[in-house]
Amino acid sequence: MDLMTILQVLDSTVRLATPLLLACLAGLFSERAGIIDIGLEGKMLASAFFAAAIAYMSGNVWIGALAGVGSSLLLSAIHGLASITYRGNQIISGLAITMLAQGMTVLIAQDWFSQGGRTPSLVGQARFEPITLPFAEALAPVPVIGPIYHELISGHSALVYVAFLMVPVTWWILFRTRFGLRLRAVGENPAAVDTAGVSVIWLRYAAVLICGVLCGLAGAYLATGLQAGFVKDMTAGRGYIALAALIFAKWRPWYALYACLLFGLLQAVAVRYQNIDLGAFVLPVQFMDALPYILTVVILAGFVGKATPPRAIGQHYVKER
Protein backbone atom coordinates (compact mmCIF):
# COMPACT_ATOMS: atom_id res chain seq x y z
CA MET A 1 0.00 0.00 0.00
CA ASP A 2 1.65 3.22 -1.08
CA LEU A 3 1.23 6.71 0.32
CA MET A 4 -1.19 7.70 -2.43
CA THR A 5 -3.59 4.85 -1.65
CA ILE A 6 -3.50 5.66 2.06
CA LEU A 7 -4.20 9.30 1.28
CA GLN A 8 -7.12 8.38 -0.96
CA VAL A 9 -8.65 6.22 1.76
CA LEU A 10 -8.14 9.00 4.31
CA ASP A 11 -9.61 11.53 1.89
CA SER A 12 -12.67 9.35 1.56
CA THR A 13 -12.72 9.02 5.37
CA VAL A 14 -12.93 12.79 5.74
CA ARG A 15 -15.82 13.01 3.28
CA LEU A 16 -17.75 10.18 4.93
CA ALA A 17 -17.04 11.37 8.47
CA THR A 18 -18.18 14.97 7.91
CA PRO A 19 -21.96 14.40 7.93
CA LEU A 20 -21.53 12.00 10.86
CA LEU A 21 -19.48 14.56 12.77
CA LEU A 22 -21.95 17.38 12.28
CA ALA A 23 -24.87 15.17 13.28
CA CYS A 24 -22.91 13.76 16.21
CA LEU A 25 -22.10 17.25 17.56
CA ALA A 26 -25.73 18.16 17.05
CA GLY A 27 -26.79 15.23 19.17
CA LEU A 28 -24.13 16.14 21.70
CA PHE A 29 -25.60 19.59 22.34
CA SER A 30 -29.10 18.20 22.64
CA GLU A 31 -28.29 15.23 24.84
CA ARG A 32 -25.91 17.19 27.06
CA ALA A 33 -28.91 19.36 27.86
CA GLY A 34 -30.95 16.28 28.68
CA ILE A 35 -33.00 15.98 25.51
CA ILE A 36 -32.66 12.68 23.67
CA ASP A 37 -32.73 13.26 19.95
CA ILE A 38 -33.21 10.26 17.71
CA GLY A 39 -34.64 12.60 15.11
CA LEU A 40 -31.16 13.53 13.81
CA GLU A 41 -31.83 11.39 10.76
CA GLY A 42 -35.09 13.19 9.99
CA LYS A 43 -33.63 16.65 10.40
CA MET A 44 -30.71 15.79 8.14
CA LEU A 45 -33.10 14.45 5.55
CA ALA A 46 -35.36 17.51 5.63
CA SER A 47 -32.37 19.79 5.39
CA ALA A 48 -30.90 17.75 2.54
CA PHE A 49 -34.10 18.19 0.60
CA PHE A 50 -34.62 21.90 1.22
CA ALA A 51 -30.96 22.67 0.66
CA ALA A 52 -31.07 20.96 -2.72
CA ALA A 53 -34.48 22.33 -3.69
CA ILE A 54 -33.75 25.95 -2.81
CA ALA A 55 -30.23 25.77 -4.21
CA TYR A 56 -31.75 24.58 -7.46
CA MET A 57 -34.34 27.35 -7.55
CA SER A 58 -32.05 30.16 -6.51
CA GLY A 59 -28.91 28.88 -8.19
CA ASN A 60 -26.96 29.70 -5.06
CA VAL A 61 -25.77 26.93 -2.79
CA TRP A 62 -25.49 29.20 0.27
CA ILE A 63 -29.13 30.24 0.06
CA GLY A 64 -29.90 26.54 -0.26
CA ALA A 65 -27.85 25.70 2.83
CA LEU A 66 -29.66 28.44 4.72
CA ALA A 67 -33.01 27.00 3.71
CA GLY A 68 -31.82 23.55 4.78
CA VAL A 69 -30.78 24.83 8.19
CA GLY A 70 -34.11 26.65 8.44
CA SER A 71 -36.12 23.48 7.81
CA SER A 72 -34.01 21.57 10.31
CA LEU A 73 -34.55 24.36 12.87
CA LEU A 74 -38.29 24.11 12.35
CA LEU A 75 -38.25 20.38 13.07
CA SER A 76 -36.06 21.05 16.11
CA ALA A 77 -38.59 23.57 17.36
CA ILE A 78 -41.32 20.95 16.99
CA HIS A 79 -39.18 18.48 18.92
CA GLY A 80 -38.61 21.15 21.59
CA LEU A 81 -42.28 21.97 21.79
CA ALA A 82 -43.25 18.31 22.16
CA SER A 83 -40.54 17.25 24.56
CA ILE A 84 -39.80 20.42 26.58
CA THR A 85 -42.97 22.47 26.69
CA TYR A 86 -45.46 19.62 26.57
CA ARG A 87 -43.19 17.06 28.25
CA GLY A 88 -43.92 14.37 25.72
CA ASN A 89 -41.86 11.26 25.26
CA GLN A 90 -38.62 12.38 23.63
CA ILE A 91 -37.98 9.11 21.81
CA ILE A 92 -41.43 9.08 20.26
CA SER A 93 -41.15 12.72 19.26
CA GLY A 94 -37.76 12.09 17.62
CA LEU A 95 -39.08 9.07 15.78
CA ALA A 96 -42.13 11.02 14.63
CA ILE A 97 -39.89 13.77 13.26
CA THR A 98 -37.89 11.26 11.26
CA MET A 99 -41.03 9.70 9.82
CA LEU A 100 -42.45 13.12 9.06
CA ALA A 101 -39.29 14.10 7.21
CA GLN A 102 -39.16 10.83 5.27
CA GLY A 103 -42.69 11.32 4.01
CA MET A 104 -42.81 15.09 3.58
CA THR A 105 -39.58 15.44 1.61
CA VAL A 106 -40.72 13.01 -1.07
CA LEU A 107 -44.21 14.48 -1.15
CA ILE A 108 -43.06 18.08 -1.52
CA ALA A 109 -40.38 17.10 -4.01
CA GLN A 110 -42.97 15.35 -6.15
CA ASP A 111 -45.24 18.38 -5.98
CA TRP A 112 -42.52 20.90 -6.84
CA PHE A 113 -40.46 19.08 -9.40
CA SER A 114 -42.56 16.07 -10.53
CA GLN A 115 -39.45 13.94 -10.80
CA GLY A 116 -40.60 11.22 -8.49
CA GLY A 117 -39.54 12.59 -5.12
CA ARG A 118 -36.16 13.91 -6.12
CA THR A 119 -34.75 17.28 -7.03
CA PRO A 120 -33.25 18.02 -10.42
CA SER A 121 -29.47 17.68 -10.62
CA LEU A 122 -27.62 20.75 -9.41
CA VAL A 123 -24.97 22.38 -11.54
CA GLY A 124 -22.43 25.17 -11.12
CA GLN A 125 -23.07 27.63 -8.30
CA ALA A 126 -25.85 25.50 -6.90
CA ARG A 127 -23.30 23.01 -5.54
CA PHE A 128 -20.51 23.31 -3.02
CA GLU A 129 -17.35 23.28 -5.08
CA PRO A 130 -14.13 21.93 -3.60
CA ILE A 131 -11.96 24.66 -2.09
CA THR A 132 -8.32 24.58 -3.02
CA LEU A 133 -6.37 25.91 -0.08
CA PRO A 134 -3.57 28.42 -0.64
CA PHE A 135 -0.27 26.98 -1.84
CA ALA A 136 -1.83 23.55 -2.44
CA GLU A 137 -0.62 23.49 -6.05
CA ALA A 138 2.77 24.95 -5.17
CA LEU A 139 3.34 22.50 -2.34
CA ALA A 140 2.16 19.43 -4.23
CA PRO A 141 5.63 18.40 -5.52
CA VAL A 142 7.14 18.47 -2.01
CA PRO A 143 7.57 14.86 -0.88
CA VAL A 144 5.20 13.48 1.79
CA ILE A 145 3.95 16.85 3.08
CA GLY A 146 2.97 18.04 -0.40
CA PRO A 147 0.62 15.17 -1.25
CA ILE A 148 -0.83 15.17 2.27
CA TYR A 149 -1.65 18.86 2.05
CA HIS A 150 -2.78 18.71 -1.56
CA GLU A 151 -4.83 15.51 -1.48
CA LEU A 152 -6.05 15.25 2.07
CA ILE A 153 -6.32 18.70 3.60
CA SER A 154 -7.06 20.82 0.57
CA GLY A 155 -9.86 20.23 -1.94
CA HIS A 156 -12.89 19.69 0.29
CA SER A 157 -16.07 21.73 0.25
CA ALA A 158 -16.52 24.57 2.74
CA LEU A 159 -18.78 22.59 5.06
CA VAL A 160 -16.05 20.03 5.74
CA TYR A 161 -13.85 22.73 7.23
CA VAL A 162 -16.84 24.10 9.13
CA ALA A 163 -17.49 20.64 10.59
CA PHE A 164 -13.93 20.17 11.79
CA LEU A 165 -13.85 23.70 13.17
CA MET A 166 -17.02 22.95 15.11
CA VAL A 167 -15.17 20.44 17.29
CA PRO A 168 -12.97 22.95 19.17
CA VAL A 169 -15.83 25.45 19.08
CA THR A 170 -18.16 22.93 20.71
CA TRP A 171 -15.52 22.06 23.29
CA TRP A 172 -14.99 25.74 24.06
CA ILE A 173 -18.70 26.49 24.33
CA LEU A 174 -19.44 23.50 26.54
CA PHE A 175 -16.42 23.61 28.81
CA ARG A 176 -15.21 27.21 28.83
CA THR A 177 -18.32 29.38 28.81
CA ARG A 178 -20.98 30.09 31.38
CA PHE A 179 -23.64 29.05 28.86
CA GLY A 180 -21.90 25.70 28.40
CA LEU A 181 -21.64 25.06 32.12
CA ARG A 182 -25.34 25.74 32.53
CA LEU A 183 -26.17 23.65 29.49
CA ARG A 184 -24.30 20.68 30.92
CA ALA A 185 -25.81 21.25 34.33
CA VAL A 186 -29.29 21.21 32.90
CA GLY A 187 -28.62 17.74 31.57
CA GLU A 188 -27.26 16.52 34.90
CA ASN A 189 -29.42 18.22 37.48
CA PRO A 190 -32.01 20.64 36.13
CA ALA A 191 -33.39 21.35 39.62
CA ALA A 192 -30.05 22.83 40.68
CA VAL A 193 -29.98 25.07 37.63
CA ASP A 194 -33.50 26.19 38.35
CA THR A 195 -32.62 26.95 41.95
CA ALA A 196 -29.81 29.16 40.70
CA GLY A 197 -32.41 31.22 38.89
CA VAL A 198 -31.62 30.11 35.36
CA SER A 199 -34.41 29.02 33.06
CA VAL A 200 -34.24 25.29 32.36
CA ILE A 201 -36.77 25.60 29.57
CA TRP A 202 -34.81 28.31 27.76
CA LEU A 203 -31.52 26.44 28.04
CA ARG A 204 -32.99 23.27 26.70
CA TYR A 205 -34.60 25.11 23.80
CA ALA A 206 -31.25 26.72 23.02
CA ALA A 207 -29.56 23.30 22.99
CA VAL A 208 -32.23 21.78 20.77
CA LEU A 209 -32.00 24.69 18.32
CA ILE A 210 -28.19 24.47 18.11
CA CYS A 211 -28.76 20.80 17.37
CA GLY A 212 -31.07 21.88 14.55
CA VAL A 213 -28.46 24.15 13.00
CA LEU A 214 -25.78 21.46 13.02
CA CYS A 215 -28.14 18.81 11.62
CA GLY A 216 -29.09 21.30 8.94
CA LEU A 217 -25.46 21.69 7.91
CA ALA A 218 -25.04 17.92 7.83
CA GLY A 219 -28.02 17.52 5.53
CA ALA A 220 -26.97 20.39 3.28
CA TYR A 221 -23.52 18.81 2.95
CA LEU A 222 -25.04 15.48 1.88
CA ALA A 223 -27.25 16.95 -0.80
CA THR A 224 -25.20 19.86 -2.14
CA GLY A 225 -21.63 18.95 -1.16
CA LEU A 226 -21.33 15.21 -1.62
CA GLN A 227 -24.17 14.85 -4.09
CA ALA A 228 -25.74 17.06 -6.68
CA GLY A 229 -29.33 16.85 -5.55
CA PHE A 230 -31.75 15.13 -3.22
CA VAL A 231 -32.81 11.51 -3.55
CA LYS A 232 -35.43 9.83 -1.40
CA ASP A 233 -34.06 8.61 1.96
CA MET A 234 -30.56 9.68 1.00
CA THR A 235 -29.36 9.89 4.59
CA ALA A 236 -29.46 6.07 4.63
CA GLY A 237 -29.22 5.70 8.41
CA ARG A 238 -26.36 8.16 8.96
CA GLY A 239 -28.34 9.88 11.73
CA TYR A 240 -28.41 6.63 13.66
CA ILE A 241 -24.73 5.96 13.11
CA ALA A 242 -24.09 9.47 14.46
CA LEU A 243 -26.05 8.52 17.57
CA ALA A 244 -23.93 5.41 17.93
CA ALA A 245 -20.83 7.58 17.53
CA LEU A 246 -22.14 9.88 20.25
CA ILE A 247 -22.41 7.01 22.72
CA PHE A 248 -19.04 5.71 21.56
CA ALA A 249 -17.61 9.17 22.23
CA LYS A 250 -19.15 9.23 25.71
CA TRP A 251 -20.81 12.59 24.95
CA ARG A 252 -17.50 14.47 24.55
CA PRO A 253 -16.62 16.71 21.59
CA TRP A 254 -13.04 15.57 20.92
CA TYR A 255 -13.98 11.93 21.37
CA ALA A 256 -16.85 12.59 18.98
CA LEU A 257 -14.32 13.65 16.37
CA TYR A 258 -12.28 10.47 16.90
CA ALA A 259 -15.37 8.26 16.89
CA CYS A 260 -16.68 9.80 13.67
CA LEU A 261 -13.28 9.57 12.00
CA LEU A 262 -13.05 5.94 13.06
CA PHE A 263 -16.52 5.15 11.71
CA GLY A 264 -15.68 7.11 8.56
CA LEU A 265 -12.45 5.17 8.18
CA LEU A 266 -14.28 1.85 8.57
CA GLN A 267 -16.70 2.89 5.83
CA ALA A 268 -13.89 4.15 3.61
CA VAL A 269 -11.97 0.90 3.97
CA ALA A 270 -15.13 -1.07 3.25
CA VAL A 271 -15.68 1.07 0.16
CA ARG A 272 -12.15 0.67 -1.10
CA TYR A 273 -11.61 -3.00 -0.41
CA GLN A 274 -14.41 -5.41 -1.01
CA ASN A 275 -12.97 -8.23 1.07
CA ILE A 276 -9.81 -7.88 3.10
CA ASP A 277 -7.43 -10.79 2.84
CA LEU A 278 -5.62 -11.14 6.13
CA GLY A 279 -3.71 -14.18 5.00
CA ALA A 280 -5.15 -16.62 7.50
CA PHE A 281 -8.74 -15.69 6.66
CA VAL A 282 -10.71 -13.23 4.57
CA LEU A 283 -12.53 -10.40 6.32
CA PRO A 284 -15.84 -9.93 4.47
CA VAL A 285 -17.02 -6.42 3.62
CA GLN A 286 -20.24 -7.04 5.56
CA PHE A 287 -18.19 -7.27 8.72
CA MET A 288 -16.67 -3.86 8.06
CA ASP A 289 -20.15 -2.42 7.49
CA ALA A 290 -21.37 -3.85 10.76
CA LEU A 291 -18.34 -2.81 12.82
CA PRO A 292 -19.65 0.62 13.93
CA TYR A 293 -22.66 -1.06 15.52
CA ILE A 294 -20.59 -3.87 17.00
CA LEU A 295 -18.19 -1.35 18.54
CA THR A 296 -21.07 0.61 20.03
CA VAL A 297 -22.52 -2.52 21.60
CA VAL A 298 -19.10 -3.39 23.00
CA ILE A 299 -18.80 0.09 24.49
CA LEU A 300 -22.31 -0.09 25.92
CA ALA A 301 -21.53 -3.44 27.49
CA GLY A 302 -18.79 -1.64 29.35
CA PHE A 303 -15.76 -3.42 27.90
CA VAL A 304 -13.94 -0.22 26.96
CA GLY A 305 -14.55 2.07 29.88
CA LYS A 306 -17.98 3.18 30.88
CA ALA A 307 -20.21 5.38 28.79
CA THR A 308 -22.24 7.36 31.28
CA PRO A 309 -24.96 9.45 29.72
CA PRO A 310 -25.96 12.82 31.21
CA ARG A 311 -27.92 11.98 34.36
CA ALA A 312 -31.14 13.80 33.56
CA ILE A 313 -31.30 12.58 29.97
CA GLY A 314 -34.80 11.88 28.76
CA GLN A 315 -36.44 13.30 31.86
CA HIS A 316 -38.62 16.34 31.58
CA TYR A 317 -38.30 19.02 34.16
CA VAL A 318 -41.30 19.81 36.33
CA LYS A 319 -40.92 22.86 38.56
CA GLU A 320 -43.41 21.82 41.22
CA ARG A 321 -44.96 18.45 41.83
Partner 1 sequence: MTFRHKFLGTAATLALTAGAALAEPALIYDLGGKFDKSFNEAAFNGAQRWAEETGGSYREIELQSEAQREQALRRFAEAGSNPVVTTGFAIASAIEEVAPDYPDTKFVNIDGFLPEIPENVQMISFQEHQGSYLVGMMAAMASESGTVGFIGGMDVPLIRHFGCGYAQGVKSVDEDIEIIANMTGTTPAAWNDPVKGSELAKAQVSQGADVIYAAAGGTGVGVLQTAADEDILSIGVDSNQNHLHPGKVLTSMLKRVDVAVYNAMKAGEDLATGTSQVLGLAEEGVGVAMDENNEALVSDEMMAAVQEARQKIIDGEIDVVSYYANDSCPVLNF
Which residues form the interface with partner 1 (CB under 8 A)?
A: 5, 8, 12, 15-16, 19, 115-118, 121, 222, 226-229, 231-234, 236-237, 267-268, 271-272, 274, 285-286, 289
| E-state strands within the chain | 276-277, 282-283
User: Of 176 and 272, which has the nearer Cβ to partner 1?
Assistant: 272
User: Of 16 and 183, which has the nearer Cβ to partner 1?
Assistant: 16
The sign of the torsion formed by the CA atoms of 211, 213, 219, 221 equals: negative
Cα distances from 121 to residues 129, 164, 230, in angstroms, run: 14, 27, 8
* Torsion region of 302: left, alpha or beta (phi above 0 gives left; psi -120 to 50 gives alpha): left
Angle formed by the axes of helices 238-248 and 285-300, nearest 10°: 50
User: Of 115 and 177, which has the nearer Cβ to partner 1?
Assistant: 115
Helix (H), strand (E) at residue 306: none
Q: Minimum Å distance from CB 289 to partner 1? A: 6
User: Of 85 and 274, which has the nearer Cβ to partner 1?
Assistant: 274
User: Of 80 and 219, which has the nearer Cβ to partner 1?
Assistant: 219
- CB proximity list for 73: less than 8 A, separation 6 or greater: 209, 212, 213, 216
The C-alpha atoms of residue 106 and residue 112 are separated, in whole angstroms, by: 10
Q: Minimum Å distance from CB 116 to partner 1? A: 2
Q: Minimum Å distance from CB 242 to partner 1? A: 14
Residue 287 burial (10 A CB sphere; 0-12, 13-18, 19+): middle
The C-alpha atoms of residue 8 and residue 69 are separated, in whole angstroms, by: 30
Q: Minimum Å distance from CB 270 to partner 1? A: 9
User: Of 89 and 227, which has the nearer Cβ to partner 1?
Assistant: 227
Q: Minimum Å distance from CB 26 to partner 1? A: 18
Q: Minimum Å distance from CB 14 to partner 1? A: 11
